[in-house]
Structure 1
């Protein structure tokens, strides 16, 4: 903002900016013409009122330009998704709404791992200051995946831990590095944790469940990562279930190994018919297997069971209302 002296000459303000030539000469003469003839008729110069109006109009034009630039950034995001649709974004589909470029709708089809065959719809809301502020991602309340980072009531997702890297230890959104396609890719990471992490290979028990210990605060001890992941958890029940599952396996791993070696069956995956056949030859081993399965099927321990339930629910939403689902998905996309 500048100031006008008594003789009507323009002096730049703290920002150092002065009116553009277009503003100063819009009416055919410069601001300096008023300073050279202080007693001249107001009609021959640009009055304070007119100057204020011109600056206001220029400010509106700048705001429109900024909005257009933001929209251009969003359209470029769509190009990234299209270009890598068969690569890192395979299995996940997202497009802006017909009604607003700031509202996106998508669906992820999980093809492998613990959530295999799950189909989950989600929405992305872009703030008006994007990319300075992060988008908000939420799964459809009709079917919310059971996950530590997903709120079971609203479907909102917390990406703080997934954004954390060596050069970003707090997992904060960084406008210079993070974009919409960053979060869309991280939606896949919710369902595909890093199976190659050496800490996972050292765990006992269900390998498909063990990988999700990476999203469990207690698994990381008391370090910086644990602090970040703790603030990322929106479903404490899921995190507690993972902890209980790991503790059960630590306490019973040796017992499971001995039973499996003795009877030649998987103590956890043995079917009822296999257990009945075993009962005829080794009643004690059969009873032990039944007890173990009952303990692991307890809702406080069985993370796999919760996931299987939400996957089945997602399939029911499509199988029972396939036409309706496709119509809504088409409208959203």
Structure 2
């Protein structure tokens, strides 16, 4: 893991938040949409980093919860009227947490390559469930005809039909997730899951039920991914089985690695950088005929960062380069 100086992390986070939140003042509709997607995938990448960077669990099926939340919103939303955010969001997150608990209770019993394959298998099961059934349009996907609104009684405060309102809600959600995960990781629970990543056998010897800690971490991670899926479904009001596909999980992993594993600011930087480069690579005025093959540019960028920057982009931006100390070490540097 990488230790990020607190001031540097806050400055980077502030710059990103301001840049994205102020997009409506300088950008057009498409720019607002891109900024919202960046925030959504930043939340998704943070949820994955809780497993990968802090708990030591490499999930290749995390998009299952991202897509499940999007479908849950579509199914919950009335066809010709807007769902109330006060009820829709808790329902969607509750469904995601419940399914995350059921899947986690099984997959957390495995480790290593087996954990990777089992999480992928569950994600593919959900993918084909929505792909082959007519619950929400099958392979064609389904629309959310009227986007959610926040209303108290008869008073409507704002609607996600406004791209600006959705963007600012997404910014608030990202900051909330960042703050809550920061507190979680500094709590005794957070120290235990980081200890599990370093040496699970030693944590068991100290009397910790590592299975329960990993399961709770998995459920929290799934719920945060569900929040990202909820917001994503509101961007275009369309959901499809591809949201649960393995490639979405792969993109999340790339963003975490690109920004820097074992940090909270890293996934945010990784998501913004990945999607930013993607948008630039599609501009024919910038890259010419290579715009038709923008994936090559993205791949070259990712390879260059992985090979050239030891700790990802965050290691360069924040000046971080030393390893995270073993959480089981004492202040004198000796292990108990």
Query: TM-score by structure 1 length?
Result: 0.23
**Higher strand content, 1 or 2:** 1
Query: TM-score by structure 2 length?
Result: 0.23
**Higher helix content, 1 or 2:** 2
